[in-house]
Amino acid sequence: MRAKTTNARRCAWRHSTRTALVLTTLLVAAPGARADARLDLARQLENLHSPAPLRATVQLDLRLDQKLHSKAAQGQATLRVEVEQDATGLTVHWESSSLEDANVEERERDRDPDHLTPVRQAMTELDAARLGHLLDQASTIAGLTRDTPIEDEADSYEGHQARRLVYRFNPRLTWSDAYYLRRSEGRFKLWVAADGTPLGSESVASYEGKTGRAFGRFHGKTTTRTRYAVEQQRLRVADRDVDELVSHDDGGDVHHTAKRFVIDAR
């Protein structure tokens, strides 16, 4: 009876030892897997950091919905520009019809101060800095992913195997909103291929604050979904959807903006 008890104890000890070794191996391997995904991403971003020459068509669909107390207004516009970028700089070709539409808007605004100007606002969205940003994403992603991800999981993206990395960031705010800020949060999800190449991302930034004890609440939320493309050492946006909601004066002043960027290389 004593021998059977001893053998049982030995078997239990061996089982517990094997279990501990397996758990230890998993704990050691998991950080390594996360580190490899981060290193692969960093290596790919470095390889894609020197953009090759590119010619592309950039289209922006813009929709505006605004409310100021009892007044409401809507507007929409579609703009298309031809872009060429190389080592000498960025060249943008505007369609003459877009320029004429902007002039018509301005004349209508002179007659009616409440009239929105979506064409002109779309033009500000397609300035040289924004176009350069859309055409070269490596630096932006490198900045958002410089810290350790809070999540690193196996996932899929558009039917392909991928890893999903999640990071935190501080949302960009106006000077006044930052002064009265109560809370803000930013989360950046990035799907990468097995070699670390970015496939797509989702960025959600939210904030809220209050300018007075009883009144003056404000809040905002921006969701950005992006699909990337890689061409000759260049990481660029293939398409991007941006949904932005900004509310001030306890909901009395609300601006909702929806933007869709589509870039086709030529």
Task: Give a yes or no: residue 133 inside a domain.
Answer: yes
Q: What is the mean pLDDT of the chain?
A: 87
Total-model pTM: 0.84
Residue 110's CB: how many other CB atoms inside 10 A? 9
Q: Quick one: pLDDT band at residue 13, thresholds 50, 70, 90?
A: very low
Residue 260 identity (one-letter amino acid): R
Q: Quick one: pLDDT band at residue 9, thresholds 50, 70, 90?
A: low
Range 31-42 average pLDDT: 70
Task: Give a yes or no: residue 51 inside a domain.
Answer: yes
Domain of residue 127 covers: 45-265
* Residue positions counted in the chain: 266
Task: Give a yes or no: residue 197 inside a domain.
Answer: yes
Range 250-266 average pLDDT: 95
Residue 152 identity (one-letter amino acid): D
Task: Give a yes or no: residue 22 inside a domain.
Answer: no
Domain count across the chain: 1
Question: Which tens digits make up the pLDDT trace of 161-176?
Answer: 999 999 999 999 999 9
Residue with the larger pLDDT of the pair 195 and 29:
195
